[in-house]
């Protein structure tokens, strides 16, 4: 039987994903009619999805067996009341590798104080700017899921003490794991660098508020490749102005693209990267999509199924 698969994503994604999806379906032995054109929604078997203003009502997709997100974060769709089909988020090995590189690179930049030497070529011999060893620089990993655990492992390999925090208690070799409000306070009060890798839910919105930023050692660094609203922007700007937070490297924002007049662009203690920490990689991600369709057709459990109550 030929399955009808609707590619519902911004038009610019089709040339990148179309050929890789076709190959991935062929490799998985899936006979598929894949199209970015909707046709009759009642005949669609699966939706490959990325946030897209054209798709706001899932009700007409009466035969659809699953919505397969190309994005890891599903906050824009998870609360949609018209979405009654199972929703799977993206866990892509290529994306994970990319996030590990981004986080490790930015943590090392701050740890080694690279800006001092890259920007400060002013004839001053700053011999006193030697960094401590990584083993002396505790790093908080807020979120210990697919990405947080991979980044924690990379930082551990460099000997940073990693203080992890997640919603449920964890036991991860080499990571001091915490959960709950008291756990968060314990982690933040020791971490010189905090990496935010949580989904955006009602439980994580504005997590880094004035109170929690104030818990961190003076001059601590925030690296946020999670989601913009995990941080209270006004509280962060105030903490940066006072020097409580020494620097923030931000990849994600409440409004994207970040408006040109936003203070983050001009603030000397903020680095803006344009949501490039970890793109979905078509070559690897399309195989995950194909595997999930194979599983659904074989009545096997879906991978990376989103818990709609939990929100991620």
Q: Which residues are annotated as catalytic? A: 227, 275
User: CB-wise, 46 or 312, nearer to ligand NDP?
Assistant: 312
User: CB-wise, 21 or 277, nearer to ligand NDP?
Assistant: 277
Report if residue 28 touches ligand NDP, rule: CB under 6 A.
no
> What sign for the dihedral angle of Cα 253, 254, 255, 258?
negative
- DSSP secondary structure of 167-181: SS---BTTEEEEEHH
As measured in angstroms, the least distance from the Cβ of 133 to ligand NDP is 28
Residue 294 near residue 29 (C-beta atoms within 8 A): yes
Choose among 161, 163, 103: nearest CA to 136. 161
As measured in angstroms, the least distance from the Cβ of 167 to ligand NDP is 4
Report if residue 187 touches ligand NDP, rule: CB under 6 A.
no
Q: Could you tell me which residues come within 8 angstroms of residue 224 by beta carbon, excluding any fewer than 6 positions away? A: 195, 196, 230, 231, 248, 249, 250, 251, 252
Instruction: Write each residue from 90 to 109 as x if it is in contact with ligand NDP (CB under 6 A), else as -, in one continuous string.
Output: -x---x--------------
Under DSSP, is residue 76 helix (H, G, I), strand (E, B) or coil?
Answer: coil
As measured in angstroms, the least distance from the Cβ of 170 to ligand NDP is 6
User: CB-wise, 120 or 257, nearer to ligand NDP?
Assistant: 257
Among residues 138, 143, 228, 246, which is the contact residue for ligand NDP, using CB under 6 A? 143
Among residues 4, 213, 251, 293, which is the contact residue for ligand NDP, using CB under 6 A? 251
Strand 220-224: give its sheet, edge to edge.
175-179, 162-166, 139-142, 193-196, 220-224, 245-250, 270-272
Residue 29 near residue 2 (C-beta atoms within 8 A): no
d(CA 226, CA 291): 26
User: CB-wise, 233 or 251, nearer to ligand NDP?
Assistant: 251
Among residues 278, 289, 290, 296, which is the contact residue for ligand NDP, using CB under 6 A? 278
Report if residue 138 touches ligand NDP, rule: CB under 6 A.
no
Instruction: Write each residue from 144 to 173 as x if it is in contact with ligand NDP (CB under 6 A), else as -, in one continuous string.
Output: xxxxx-----------------xxx-----
Cis amide prior to 257 (ω within 30 degrees): yes
- Structure-token match 């208690």, residue found: 169
Instruction: Write each residue from 196 to 225 as x if it is in contact with ligand NDP (CB under 6 A), else as -, in one continuous string.
Output: -xxxxx-xx--------------------x
User: CB-wise, 234 or 305, nearer to ligand NDP?
Assistant: 305
Report if residue 228 touches ligand NDP, rule: CB under 6 A.
no
As measured in angstroms, the least distance from the Cβ of 122 to ligand NDP is 34
Report if residue 30 touches ligand NDP, rule: CB under 6 A.
no
Q: Could you tell me which residues come within 8 angstroms of residue 33 by beta carbon, excluding any fewer than 6 positions away? A: 2, 3, 4, 5
Q: Could you tell me which residues come within 8 angstroms of residue 3 by beta carbon, excluding any fewer than 6 positions away? A: 30, 31, 32, 33, 45, 46, 293, 297
- Structure-token match 């909707």, residue found: 38
**Within positions 283 to 312, which residues make up the interface with ligand NDP, using CB under 6 A?**
312
Report if residue 56 touches ligand NDP, rule: CB under 6 A.
no
Residue 131 near residue 112 (C-beta atoms within 8 A): yes
Binding site for ligand NDP (CB under 6 A): 72-73, 91, 95, 143-148, 166-168, 197-201, 203-204, 225-227, 251-252, 275, 277-278, 312
């Amino acid at each position: 039987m030929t399955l009808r698969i609707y590619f519902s994503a911004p038009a610019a994604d089709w040339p990148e994903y179309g050929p890789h999806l076709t190959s991935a379906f062929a490799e998985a032995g899936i006979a598929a009619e894949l199209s970015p054109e909707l046709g009759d929604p009642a005949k669609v078997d699966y939706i490959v999805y990325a946030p897209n203003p054209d798709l706001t009502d899932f009700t007409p997709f009466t035969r659809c067996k699953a919505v397969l997100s190309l994005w890891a974060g599903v906050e824009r769709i998870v609360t949609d009341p018209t979405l009654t089909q199972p929703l799977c988020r993206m866990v892509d090995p290529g994306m994970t590798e990319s996030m590990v590189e981004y986080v490790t690179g930015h943590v090392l930049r701050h740890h080694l104080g690279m800006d001092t030497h890259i920007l400060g070529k002013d004839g001053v011999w700053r011999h006193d700017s030697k960094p401590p060893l990584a083993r002396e620089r505790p790093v908080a990993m807020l979120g210990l899921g697919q990405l947080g655990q991979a980044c924690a492992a990379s930082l551990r390999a460099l000997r940073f003490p990693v203080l992890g925090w997640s919603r449920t208690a964890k036991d991860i070799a080499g990571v001091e794991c915490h959960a709950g409000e008291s756990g968060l306070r314990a982690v933040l009060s020791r971490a010189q660098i905090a990496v935010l890798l949580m989904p955006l839910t009602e439980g994580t919105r504005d997590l880094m508020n004035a109170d929690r930023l104030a818990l961190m050692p003076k001059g601590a660094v925030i690296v946020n490749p999670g989601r913009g609203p995990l941080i209270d922007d006004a509280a962060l700007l105030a903490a940066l102005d006072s020097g409580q937070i020494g620097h923030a490297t931000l990849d994600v924002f409440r409004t994207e693209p970040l408006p040109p007049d936003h203070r983050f662009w001009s603030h000397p203690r903020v680095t803006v990267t344009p949501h490039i920490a970890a793109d979905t990689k078509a070559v690897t991600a399309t195989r995950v999509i194909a595997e999930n369709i194979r599983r659904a057709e074989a009545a096997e459990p879906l991978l990376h199924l989103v818990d709609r109550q939990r929100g991620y």
